[in-house]
Amino acid sequence: MARRRLVSLEIWARHYGAPLDEREIARHYTLTSDDLEIVGRRRGDATRLGYAMLMLYMRWPGRALEAGEVPPAPVLAYVAQQLGVAPAAFADYAHRDQTRREHLVEIRRSHGFRIFDRNAFREVVASCCLTEDCYRVERLQDAPHHHPPRRVVMWRGSSSSPRQG
Protein backbone atom coordinates (compact mmCIF):
# COMPACT_ATOMS: atom_id res chain seq x y z
CA MET A 1 0.00 0.00 0.00
CA ALA A 2 1.38 3.37 -0.98
CA ARG A 3 2.02 5.82 1.80
CA ARG A 4 2.23 9.52 1.46
CA ARG A 5 4.07 11.89 3.68
CA LEU A 6 1.72 14.11 5.67
CA VAL A 7 4.47 16.45 6.82
CA SER A 8 7.87 17.22 5.35
CA LEU A 9 11.06 15.78 6.83
CA GLU A 10 12.01 19.32 7.85
CA ILE A 11 8.86 19.77 9.90
CA TRP A 12 9.16 16.25 11.33
CA ALA A 13 12.71 17.00 12.50
CA ARG A 14 11.72 20.38 13.93
CA HIS A 15 8.90 18.91 16.03
CA TYR A 16 10.33 15.51 16.94
CA GLY A 17 14.08 16.07 16.92
CA ALA A 18 16.05 16.59 20.11
CA PRO A 19 16.71 20.19 21.16
CA LEU A 20 20.26 21.50 20.87
CA ASP A 21 19.88 24.59 23.04
CA GLU A 22 21.54 24.14 26.46
CA ARG A 23 18.51 25.36 28.36
CA GLU A 24 16.13 23.08 26.46
CA ILE A 25 18.46 20.12 26.93
CA ALA A 26 18.46 20.70 30.70
CA ARG A 27 14.69 21.10 30.68
CA HIS A 28 13.95 17.86 28.85
CA TYR A 29 16.89 15.59 29.68
CA THR A 30 17.52 16.04 33.40
CA LEU A 31 17.20 12.72 35.21
CA THR A 32 15.17 12.63 38.43
CA SER A 33 16.27 10.69 41.49
CA ASP A 34 13.76 7.96 40.53
CA ASP A 35 15.22 7.88 37.01
CA LEU A 36 18.73 7.54 38.41
CA GLU A 37 17.60 4.65 40.61
CA ILE A 38 15.97 2.82 37.66
CA VAL A 39 18.92 3.44 35.35
CA GLY A 40 21.37 2.49 38.12
CA ARG A 41 19.97 -1.06 38.16
CA ARG A 42 21.44 -1.64 34.69
CA ARG A 43 24.83 -3.29 34.34
CA GLY A 44 27.60 -1.51 32.49
CA ASP A 45 28.09 2.10 31.44
CA ALA A 46 26.82 1.52 27.90
CA THR A 47 23.61 -0.12 29.08
CA ARG A 48 22.93 2.57 31.68
CA LEU A 49 23.49 5.38 29.17
CA GLY A 50 21.52 3.64 26.41
CA TYR A 51 18.59 2.86 28.70
CA ALA A 52 18.54 6.44 30.00
CA MET A 53 18.55 7.83 26.44
CA LEU A 54 15.66 5.54 25.42
CA MET A 55 13.66 6.59 28.48
CA LEU A 56 14.34 10.29 27.98
CA TYR A 57 13.56 10.22 24.25
CA MET A 58 10.22 8.57 25.02
CA ARG A 59 9.43 11.56 27.22
CA TRP A 60 10.81 14.16 24.86
CA PRO A 61 10.45 14.44 21.91
CA GLY A 62 7.92 11.64 22.47
CA ARG A 63 9.30 8.93 20.25
CA ALA A 64 11.53 5.90 20.46
CA LEU A 65 15.20 6.24 19.70
CA GLU A 66 15.65 4.14 16.58
CA ALA A 67 18.14 1.31 16.09
CA GLY A 68 21.45 2.85 15.07
CA GLU A 69 20.29 6.39 15.83
CA VAL A 70 22.76 8.43 17.85
CA PRO A 71 21.40 11.34 19.88
CA PRO A 72 22.96 14.77 19.25
CA ALA A 73 26.34 15.12 20.99
CA PRO A 74 25.20 17.88 23.41
CA VAL A 75 22.26 15.76 24.61
CA LEU A 76 24.39 12.65 24.96
CA ALA A 77 27.08 14.55 26.87
CA TYR A 78 24.52 16.07 29.25
CA VAL A 79 22.94 12.71 30.10
CA ALA A 80 26.32 10.93 30.33
CA GLN A 81 27.56 13.58 32.77
CA GLN A 82 24.58 12.94 35.05
CA LEU A 83 25.38 9.23 35.06
CA GLY A 84 29.13 9.73 35.48
CA VAL A 85 29.96 7.84 32.28
CA ALA A 86 31.71 8.79 29.06
CA PRO A 87 29.43 9.79 26.15
CA ALA A 88 31.44 7.38 23.98
CA ALA A 89 29.92 4.49 25.98
CA PHE A 90 26.73 4.92 23.95
CA ALA A 91 28.49 3.42 20.92
CA ASP A 92 28.60 0.09 22.78
CA TYR A 93 24.88 0.07 23.64
CA ALA A 94 22.54 -2.58 22.23
CA HIS A 95 24.69 -4.39 19.73
CA ARG A 96 21.74 -6.77 19.74
CA ASP A 97 18.62 -4.93 18.57
CA GLN A 98 16.62 -7.29 20.77
CA THR A 99 18.14 -5.61 23.85
CA ARG A 100 16.98 -2.19 22.68
CA ARG A 101 13.51 -3.52 21.87
CA GLU A 102 13.22 -5.24 25.27
CA HIS A 103 14.22 -2.00 26.97
CA LEU A 104 11.62 -0.07 24.95
CA VAL A 105 8.87 -2.51 25.97
CA GLU A 106 9.93 -2.27 29.61
CA ILE A 107 9.98 1.55 29.50
CA ARG A 108 6.60 1.70 27.75
CA ARG A 109 5.02 -0.56 30.36
CA SER A 110 6.60 1.01 33.43
CA HIS A 111 5.93 4.61 32.34
CA GLY A 112 2.52 4.11 30.73
CA PHE A 113 3.43 4.95 27.12
CA ARG A 114 1.42 3.69 24.15
CA ILE A 115 2.32 3.29 20.49
CA PHE A 116 0.83 5.86 18.12
CA ASP A 117 -1.56 3.55 16.30
CA ARG A 118 -4.88 4.03 14.52
CA ASN A 119 -6.79 4.32 17.81
CA ALA A 120 -4.37 6.95 19.14
CA PHE A 121 -4.70 8.81 15.83
CA ARG A 122 -8.48 8.85 16.23
CA GLU A 123 -8.12 10.17 19.79
CA VAL A 124 -5.89 12.99 18.55
CA VAL A 125 -8.36 13.93 15.83
CA ALA A 126 -11.28 13.75 18.26
CA SER A 127 -9.47 15.89 20.84
CA CYS A 128 -8.68 18.49 18.17
CA CYS A 129 -12.25 18.55 16.93
CA LEU A 130 -13.62 19.01 20.45
CA THR A 131 -11.64 22.19 20.90
CA GLU A 132 -11.74 25.52 19.14
CA ASP A 133 -8.35 24.64 17.67
CA CYS A 134 -9.52 22.16 15.04
CA TYR A 135 -6.48 22.38 12.77
CA ARG A 136 -6.07 21.14 9.26
CA VAL A 137 -2.83 19.35 8.42
CA GLU A 138 -1.39 22.57 6.97
CA ARG A 139 -1.99 24.40 10.25
CA LEU A 140 -0.64 21.49 12.30
CA GLN A 141 2.61 21.77 10.39
CA ASP A 142 3.04 25.32 11.67
CA ALA A 143 1.63 24.76 15.16
CA PRO A 144 4.22 24.78 17.95
CA HIS A 145 4.52 21.24 19.33
CA HIS A 146 1.03 19.80 19.04
CA HIS A 147 1.56 16.42 20.70
CA PRO A 148 -0.81 13.48 21.07
CA PRO A 149 -2.57 13.05 24.41
CA ARG A 150 -1.96 10.48 27.15
CA ARG A 151 1.70 9.56 26.78
CA VAL A 152 1.54 8.36 23.17
CA VAL A 153 4.88 7.60 21.54
CA MET A 154 5.29 8.61 17.94
CA TRP A 155 6.49 5.88 15.61
CA ARG A 156 9.20 6.74 13.13
CA GLY A 157 9.80 4.32 10.30
CA SER A 158 12.23 4.41 7.42
CA SER A 159 10.08 7.00 5.67
CA SER A 160 10.45 9.24 8.75
CA SER A 161 6.72 9.75 9.01
CA PRO A 162 4.12 8.30 11.35
CA ARG A 163 2.78 4.93 10.31
CA GLN A 164 -0.91 4.73 9.62
CA GLY A 165 -2.34 1.37 10.49
pLDDT, tens digit only, all 165 positions of the chain: 556 777 777 776 676 677 788 999 999 999 999 999 999 999 999 999 999 999 999 998 888 888 999 999 999 999 999 999 999 999 999 888 999 999 999 999 998 888 888 888 888 777 776 665 554 554 555 555 555 555 656 554 444 444 433
- The dihedral region occupied by 65, where left means phi > 0, alpha psi between -120 and 50, and beta the remainder, is beta
Counting other chains too, the contacts that 119-127 makes at CB distance below 8 Å and 24 or more residues apart are: 120/148, 120/152, 121/162, 121/164, 123/148, 123/149, 123/150, 123/152, 124/148, 124/149, 124/152
Q: Could you state, in order of their start, the residue ranges of all structural domains in the chain?
A: 9-112
Instruction: Quote the pTM value.
Output: 0.70
